[in-house]
Structure 1
Amino acid sequence: MFSLTKNTGRQGEIIEVVFRNGWDYMRGLLTGGKAGEPRLPSPEVLCNILIELGPVYVKLGQLLSTRPDILSAKYIDKLTDLQANVPPVPWSEVELQLQKELKQPIEAIFARVDTQAVAAGSIGQVHRAALRNGREVALKVQRPGIEVVVSQDIALIKGLAELVSLTEFGKDFDIVALADEFTTALKAELDFTTEAQYTNQLRRNLSKTGWFDPKRVVVPEVYWEVTTPKVLTIEWLDGVPLLDSELAKSGREEKFAKQRQEVTTLLFRAFLQQIYLDGFFHADPHPGNLFYLDDGRIALLDCGMVGRLDPRSQQILTEMLLAVVDLDAQRCSQLTLELAESGQPQSLERLESDFDRMLRKYHNLSIAQINFSEVFYEVLQLSRNNSIRLPSSMGLYAKALANLEGVARSFDPEVNFLDEVKPLMTDLFRRQLLGENPLQTALRTALDLKSLSLRSPRQFELLLDRLSSETLKWNFTIKELDPLRRSLDDSANRLSFSILVGSLIMGAAIISSGAQTSQLSLVSNILFAVATLLGLWLVVSILKSGRLR
């Protein structure tokens, strides 16, 4: 609660926005109310609140849109389109920021800088410029003073997370860790060198491939000599958003159909390589980040949000794709549990039943009619309903797939996701099985087999020795055994107390019947009193346990 009182001015602004939009739950939290179970407003109201709260909360909403494992699809759809309604910073402030970061006059580095911003976002704004060597560049400059606002809002976000963590929802989703994850991502957004590194890695990965012509896919070059934590300078690419291109506007004209199909295939192959081979992918391929260049190439822009998948997750997701195609509910359940970070379903039968009910919707549909990104969103929803926590990378994976498939269907309505994947499956399985270097994988496997063959006789001999000497021990873990053991312990304890109470009563009766002195009568009374107290305690404990019958 302490962190909520650090920035009372900012907290007052937030309370005012929340009051105005009628979010009762958050209003109660901010005014010191009890943290009950979270109640979100409608997606539209939530977006309005985030926009009014300013750039940091807009960015938070955009980060939340990458977590369909936490929020339902209707919230994800709204948050995905969330954009900060912020005017560009005046050029005089931007100029001061540039000089401060680059530590020399702007004229010494740039031949020209357009003072009118091309685009303005929640963290920075973009200007077109030209270096002294004549190269056209896009200059992204951080909004002056944004780091102060971010640090204040991060403190409030963490304070609210601590309150919500007291609820069942907060415990189920480890809301404090989630807030830490979001605040780390927000801080990373303030360091433009991180985005520059991501851009460089994607550029390197896509320049080496056997799945498509690497010359037809472009990731802008980073100019490191003019890049700092608050200034990012990248190659300027002439083009338009893919869905605004002449190809996209040509509709169903026959002469453009083949060209559209080629671009769609190129787009899918570029992203399938990132996801299933590289394990490092552009996680935000929305229409504004996919450009159709004047020379016919496809450009991937704004590489600040990326996802990562380890080889095991890549393999499981490939198998999940096949299980969905086969409408195999049991296999989908098994693969979901293999992906899980923590949590087990209360009932495996219920999980399989949920998958069966979900996949049954697609029984009468052709493969072309199945929206695979929608299926993966439903997989995340089923996991959430069954208290299974999947890695956060699964949210980025589902979001990237949803954006990619959405753009592809808008660009080419005839697209079939599976038709794009099928030609790559054989190569994909070969690479996952043998790796990039089959000879090296074969040699490693041969060494493992040799080591196993050398150890096996000795291990078998030890097993026989233990069997013959009767020293072999078996360790079993039986589910639900602990509650049974505790129940037996309770029963044994109560039986012991019952015997003790009976013994005290009998002893007291014997002493009382033969008592000749006042001392013996006193001992008899004490024994009766102790037996009575123990008996009452035993009866009360049985009644409180609720197991009288």
Structure 2
Amino acid sequence: MAILDVLLVVLLAIAGLLFLMLQSWLAATVVRRVVGVPIGWPRSIVVGFVMSVAMGFTVQYLFRAGTDQNTNGLNVAPSVAVLFLILAMGWIFALGVAALVFIEAAFPTGSLPTFSSFFTGGKARRQRSRRYTEILSIAVRHGLGSRLRGFGQAGLDEHEAKTARALRNALNEAGVTFVKLGQMLSTRRDLLPAVYIRELQTLQTNASPEPWEKIMAAAEEQLGRPLSEIFSEVDPTPLAAASVAQVHQAVLWDGTAVVLKVQRPGALAQVNLDTDIIIRLAKWLDKTTPWGSSLGVHELARGFATSLEEELDYTIELENMRTIEHALDAGTFAVTVPHAYEELSSERLLVMDRLPGRPVSSAGKILANLTDAERSALAATLLGVTLQQIISDGVFHGDLHAGNIFITPEGTLGLLDFGAVGRLDPGTQTALGMMLYSIDKNDAAGATDALIELLDRPEDLDVRVVERSLGQLLTRFRSGFRAGGSQKMFSELFALIIAHKFSVPAQIGAAFRALSTVEGTLMLIDPRMDLVTAARTEGSRLMSGRFSLGSLKDSLEQRLVSLVPLLNRLPRRMNKISEDLEHGRFSMNVRMLAHAADRRFLTGLFQQLVVAVLAGAAVLGAITLIVSNEGPLLTGEIHLYAVFGFALLFGGFVLGMRSLMLVFKRDDDED
């Protein structure tokens, strides 16, 4: 019998727990429906559980009150106890709604870790915590903790310079991901002050070589066989070493000289960890600093993470190489792109022909032996091929620094490292070309139209003011300037863009980055070169080709083909319009609020207004009934109208909470 009694108690306890869970779920469901916005289930269940427990105690207390079992408490008639019970349960429900509203307002759904996250991903959290600690210690050591909150404040030039240097040093020490982040930010003149741009442009990604044994194992893992089966020899001393990959010279068994670009073991995992941290930090800065939200650092971080992920996939780089190689073969410039071996390459390994010569960064002797005319021709070729890729091809090398451009023994140029490649749509290509063409022709109106087409147009833009500002800029630099002075024009152009609140799309920023990067390389090849003057001339030449009779004829034919269906239907439509006019049947239909977003906005606004009015009316009516002291007495001191007033106040309170929640939800949607 004892065992049966224990078993019965256990079964009753389980049944009671299941009933309590069901009751909590039902309460949570009703509360979510009343609040009117999607709220996370965990917090809803917790609130529902608290409501269920409170209701249980209330039922027990009022049952004793209705049966005269409260020795020192409330004792009323059973009917009054039932009425009080209904009212108490309503207010417990209302307080549950209020608790859920305030929790949601303070900690919106999705802003806190999920319940399951406490039991999963422990290893990732530990790794992230260690990396957080390391990054924070680097930031504190360089004094960034107190400086970043004042970032971008006017009148603090000395403070900004110190912060920029500290930021550069911290990024350099934090590793490859943060160095690449700094390099990306160094091209965003529309976002960062000039002092930050200058500091971040000095970041480099050189690193100590990885032991050959580890690199060899990584290469063989990607190939699926020993290196000796494919290469007759491999140089264990790296030709170049960066934080993500190493480059080694090798020879195929047929005697072809090649290089192996091998991604370091663990580099991908480290970059993924760092990008995750960067996105989290950017999200925090977006919420806690005024400059973070104004610059949109969270979206910048997400775009950077996507770009870096593509850069680490060498199959994408292989495809980029083939695309640019094909475009260069069809172009007019003698620039070499090494041939890649697709059958030997993979996501973490790239095998390609060895490019003869030296990179511009270490080709001082070769350049010194060239005449001024030869150096000028090399610089013109490099600038020409860059503009051709941007304006004509729409696919361009995005990182043309001096280490990625080779000078061959024959005196020609070669390109390397196609991890960062930008792509432009035909409309953007035309806009960029038209801008250079208009600058060359000193056409302020044309340059303004091209600039507006190129960038994201802000609201309430005064086009005439932009045209005057750009015209003044063209007048100042119309006759060119000394070598290296183009930096001043780019700075003033970006200042104009910022002053008129234009925003620069990511791919346009990549094109500007390519031009900004290639300028430094051009100065090494030909220090006397005037980049803007040469770019104006070359851009005008490229666009002039589009204005030839053949090109205009082809363009006109394309437009006419697209107009054929319209022209076929035009006579019938014109005939109908003329008949309607003749017989007085012509009318125009204008649909107000045709866009679904406008209808949703007005509907939500009207609903919110109705709920607020009803809540206010209910509260005012409830207060009137509660203080009236009229109507029959339920007990010695409680009037029936007061009970009705508290019931009505419950309704007004719930409606008020719903209205408040709709306000919070609307603000979140607008943000």
Give the TM-score normalised by the residue count of structure 1. 0.74
Amino acid at match of 1:117: P
- The CA deviation at 1:158 is 1.3
Deviations 1:129-178 (A, max 9, x none): 11222211111111111222122212211111222223554444433222
Amino acid at match of 1:469: R
Pairing 1:385–2:504 present = no
1: distance between equivalents of 2:505 and 2:276?
A: 25
Name the structure 2 match of 1:228: 346
Match of 2:390 among 241, 262, 275: 275
Name the structure 2 match of 1:218: 336
- The CA deviation at 1:386 is 2.7
Deviations 1:202-238 (A, max 9, x none): 11111112x33xxx31111111222111111111122
1: distance between equivalents of 2:377 and 2:483?
A: 21
- The CA deviation at 1:314 is 1.3
Pairing 1:265–2:380 present = yes
Partners of 1:123 and 1:189 within 8 A in 2: no
1: distance between equivalents of 2:446 and 2:543?
A: 20
Deviations 1:384-414 (A, max 9, x none): 3332212112222112222333322332244
Give the TM-score normalised by the residue count of structure 2. 0.62
SS at match of 2:247: strand
Name the structure 1 match of 2:283: 162
Name the structure 1 match of 2:208: 87
Deviations 1:85-134 (A, max 9, x none): 52111112112212221111121111111111121112111111112222
Name the structure 2 match of 1:203: 325
2: distance between equivalents of 1:347 and 1:285?
A: 36
- The CA deviation at 1:60 is 1.8
Amino acid at match of 1:200: R
- The CA deviation at 1:273 is 1.5
Pairing 1:194–2:316 present = yes
Partners of 1:345 and 1:386 within 8 A in 2: no
Alignment CA distance shift 1:56-1:369 (3 Å): closer
- The CA deviation at 1:48 is 0.7
Amino acid at match of 2:129: T
Alignment CA distance shift 1:432-1:121 (3 Å): farther
Deviations 1:255-293 (A, max 9, x none): 812322332232222222211110101111111111111
Alignment CA distance shift 1:322-1:208 (3 Å): closer
SS at match of 1:60: helix
- The CA deviation at 1:301 is 1.2
Deviations 1:57-91 (A, max 9, x none): 11222232343332244433433331135211111
Pairing 1:447–2:566 present = no
Name the structure 2 match of 1:527: none
Match of 2:529 among 410, 415, 420: 415
Amino acid at match of 1:124: A
Alignment CA distance shift 1:430-1:84 (3 Å): closer
Amino acid at match of 2:314: F
Alignment CA distance shift 1:383-1:27 (3 Å): closer
Name the structure 2 match of 1:526: none
2: distance between equivalents of 1:200 and 1:235?
A: 13
2: distance between equivalents of 1:367 and 1:206?
A: 31
Name the structure 1 match of 2:297: 175
Name the structure 2 match of 1:505: none
Amino acid at match of 1:165: D
Please tell me whether Structure 1 or Structure 2 has the larger radius of gyration of its CA atoms: 2
1: distance between equivalents of 2:292 and 2:457?
A: 15
- The CA deviation at 1:340 is 2.6
Name the structure 1 match of 2:12: none
Task: Tell which deviates more after alignment, 353-362 or 135-144.
Answer: 353-362
Partners of 1:18 and 1:26 within 8 A in 2: no
User: 1:420-499 counterparts in 2 under 5 A?
Assistant: 422=537, 425-426=540-541, 428-431=543-546, 441-448=555-562, 450-465=564-579, 468-473=584-589
Alignment CA distance shift 1:434-1:21 (3 Å): farther
Partners of 1:2 and 1:159 within 8 A in 2: no
- The CA deviation at 1:25 is 4.9
2: distance between equivalents of 1:457 and 1:374?
A: 57
Partners of 1:101 and 1:231 within 8 A in 2: yes
2: distance between equivalents of 1:108 and 1:114?
A: 15
Task: Tell which deviates more after alignment, 453-462 or 15-24.
Answer: 453-462
2: distance between equivalents of 1:162 and 1:277?
A: 38
Alignment CA distance shift 1:168-1:355 (3 Å): farther
Name the structure 2 match of 1:49: 170
Partners of 2:359 and 2:405 within 8 A in 1: yes
2: distance between equivalents of 1:179 and 1:220?
A: 32
Match of 1:78 among 185, 199, 202: 199
Amino acid at match of 2:417: D
Runs (5+) with no aligned partner, structure 1:
30-38, 487-492, 494-549
Deviations 1:472-525 (A, max 9, x none): 256899xxxx9xxx9xxxxxx9xxxxxxxxxxxxxxxxxxxxxxxxxxxxxxxx
Partners of 1:329 and 1:352 within 8 A in 2: yes
Alignment CA distance shift 1:462-1:42 (3 Å): farther
1: distance between equivalents of 2:327 and 2:449?
A: 32
1: distance between equivalents of 2:448 and 2:554?
A: 34
- RMSD of equivalent CA atoms: 3.6
Amino acid at match of 2:358: V
Name the structure 2 match of 1:185: 307
Q: Percent of pairs identical after alignment?
A: 30
Task: Tell which deviates more after alignment, 447-456 or 387-396.
Answer: 447-456
Partners of 1:194 and 1:304 within 8 A in 2: yes
- The CA deviation at 1:350 is 5.1
Match of 2:439 among 324, 330, 333: 324
2: distance between equivalents of 1:136 and 1:191?
A: 24
Q: How many residues align?
A: 464
Deviations 1:299-345 (A, max 9, x none): 11111111111111111112212333455555444332222335335
Partners of 1:72 and 1:381 within 8 A in 2: no
Partners of 1:337 and 1:344 within 8 A in 2: no
Amino acid at match of 1:109: I
Partners of 1:221 and 1:235 within 8 A in 2: yes
Pairing 1:249–2:368 present = yes
1: distance between equivalents of 2:508 and 2:467?
A: 20
Alignment CA distance shift 1:127-1:366 (3 Å): closer
SS at match of 2:233: strand
2: distance between equivalents of 1:321 and 1:282?
A: 19
Alignment CA distance shift 1:469-1:157 (3 Å): same
Partners of 2:398 and 2:510 within 8 A in 1: yes
SS at match of 2:510: helix
Amino acid at match of 1:229: E
Match of 1:238 among 352, 356, 371: 356
Deviations 1:2-35 (A, max 9, x none): 6897722111111110111001258889xxxxxx
